[in-house]
Structure 1
């Protein structure tokens, strides 16, 4: 499921989007906001994969709001104004939909999001766990923890697996797949990062320490992360 929110101060436009969302099984509407401040509260208290964001709103417009976010969910702009399209795409928005939004145009935009997510889900590793060789989707792995001669894999599906593998082997294997090692005992999936400071990084409810000897790798990740998402 893809958790999404609607940020729009026009009730009719928001209702139309809600109706479109209800027709796609993989989309789950988890919240609605009438302005950027309400949207910010939603983003602070829940995991949001996709945001349908209006541009003209009171207090803070959609473009400035997206610029202000340190971690941006995938965003589809929804607006009646064409002139902001270029700036919207410069913010790496998935799409820019002009109101009134037909379901056909909406579906084409959402299908792009689904395809990108499915591309990642197609990538996997196979680990021996509990006497079985298991295929684990990289998109489901939140973090990997070294536990002596074993590793523990924590998944977004709430399952955990123990495997007799070396964390150094997985570090090399996953280095180009959106994973980084930030501690001698932890490798994280950067797609799940929700907050961080100099000492720890949050993956939703999980708090992972940053090891001193991995500070350089961590700083490089934060720098790259910020260049992509902080404007």
Structure 2
């Protein structure tokens, strides 16, 4: 008989399911002998169906379960209501668990499931999703293939049983990368990050938009000067700070994130090309494609700026609409 070993995911999923019902899982094992698993479940009546989509379920399990020593309730997740969320995974059990965890707070979100990239692509053409949970390995294609069907504003969270695709995920502007099995706490944390990435919803009195003639004061060690918005060539992220470069090739670090800049700068003139970069289209000189990577160059500069694979289509659409397609090397 062929001796094959798995990844242990089934055991982790069973453990998660048992603990969600207030139970516990234990086992005994000896080398070259059989392993015995024991599942302990509480004898209390099951939680009524109407409670399963409310905040009461988390409190009920923590309170009545004799197997749980932690009596504290989990803090309520602060996320907006009415989100459209896509869940893409070929395993129906994983999808079911994700749906249960997302519905456990009763936030009124609209959840849509898909088991293949093709199915998810069809959904994405009809729906404008706010958040997408995307498995990396799928039967018909890689989960990364779905990115071209999603608008840039969709916050994408990748899922996998290994961390080998994490770097690629973050290069594609992913909000988070979840390793399976996924805990409720970890899932909610990822959703909070996704909500922080989403564009601000309009208020009754929207903030005034910046104009290209608007100016701001920059203080450096050597000088204090007035910089016009139209003079900004590009902005590079540096954590919660950012480096702002203006017309003369000078720059300064300001305590302002790229997310704040993106919300305030004129959208017809400035575009985000990477999670770490915003450029002024007026200074765009040329685009270069090399070994599957896209780089752009600004006028009078030899320093390339990386364009992420996810934001490249958005940049191309913007340039076409403005009739500003630069030469490609």
> How high is the TM-score relative to the length of structure 1?
0.55
Matches for 1:103-118 after TM superposition, within 5 Å: 103-117=184-198
Residue in 1 aligned with 2:311?
229
Q: 1:54 aligns with which of 123, 135, 144?
A: 135
Residue in 2 aligned with 1:80?
161
1:78 positional shift:
1.4
Residues in 2 aligned to 1:78 and 1:25: alpha-carbon distance in whole angstroms = 23
Higher radius of gyration, 1 or 2: 2
8 Å CA contact 1:70–1:230 kept in 2: the answer is: no
1:77 positional shift:
0.8
Are residue 9 (structure 1) and residue 90 (structure 2) matched?
A: yes
Are residue 69 (structure 1) and residue 149 (structure 2) matched?
A: yes
1:63 positional shift:
2.0
Residue in 1 aligned with 2:211?
172
User: Alpha-carbon deviations, 1:199-222, whole Å to 9, x = none?
Assistant: xxxxxxxxxxxxxxxxx88x99xx
Residue in 2 aligned with 1:135?
205
| Bigger Cα displacement from structure 2, 4-13 vs 173-182 | 173-182
Provide closer, same or farther for how the CA distance between residues 227 and 24 of structure 1 changes in structure 2, counting only shifts above 3 A.
Answer: same
Residues in 2 aligned to 1:89 and 1:225: alpha-carbon distance in whole angstroms = 13
Are residue 18 (structure 1) and residue 88 (structure 2) matched?
A: no
1:25 positional shift:
3.9
Q: Helix, strand or coil for the counterpart of 2:205?
A: strand
Provide closer, same or farther for how the CA distance between residues 225 and 44 of structure 1 changes in structure 2, counting only shifts above 3 A.
Answer: farther
8 Å CA contact 1:21–1:27 kept in 2: the answer is: no
Q: Helix, strand or coil for the counterpart of 1:135?
A: coil
Are residue 94 (structure 1) and residue 189 (structure 2) matched?
A: no
Matches for 1:138-157 after TM superposition, within 5 Å: none
User: Alpha-carbon deviations, 1:109-156, whole Å to 9, x = none?
Assistant: 1111223448x35x86xxxxxxxxx523x6xxxxxxxxxxxxxxxxxx
Provide closer, same or farther for how the CA distance between residues 116 and 65 of structure 1 changes in structure 2, counting only shifts above 3 A.
Answer: closer
Greater share of residues in helix:
1
Say which structure, 1 or 2, has more relative contact order (CA 8 Å, 6+ apart): 1
8 Å CA contact 1:69–1:229 kept in 2: the answer is: no
- Number of paired residues? 154
Residues in 2 aligned to 1:170 and 1:106: alpha-carbon distance in whole angstroms = 35
8 Å CA contact 1:171–1:181 kept in 2: the answer is: no
Are residue 41 (structure 1) and residue 122 (structure 2) matched?
A: yes
1:171 positional shift:
6.3
Provide closer, same or farther for how the CA distance between residues 94 and 27 of structure 1 changes in structure 2, counting only shifts above 3 A.
Answer: farther
Greater share of residues in strand:
1
8 Å CA contact 2:124–2:150 kept in 1: the answer is: no
> How high is the TM-score relative to the length of structure 2?
0.40
Residues in 1 aligned to 2:94 and 2:159: alpha-carbon distance in whole angstroms = 9
Residues in 2 aligned to 1:27 and 1:88: alpha-carbon distance in whole angstroms = 28
RMSD, aligned α-carbons? 3.6
8 Å CA contact 1:18–1:29 kept in 2: the answer is: no
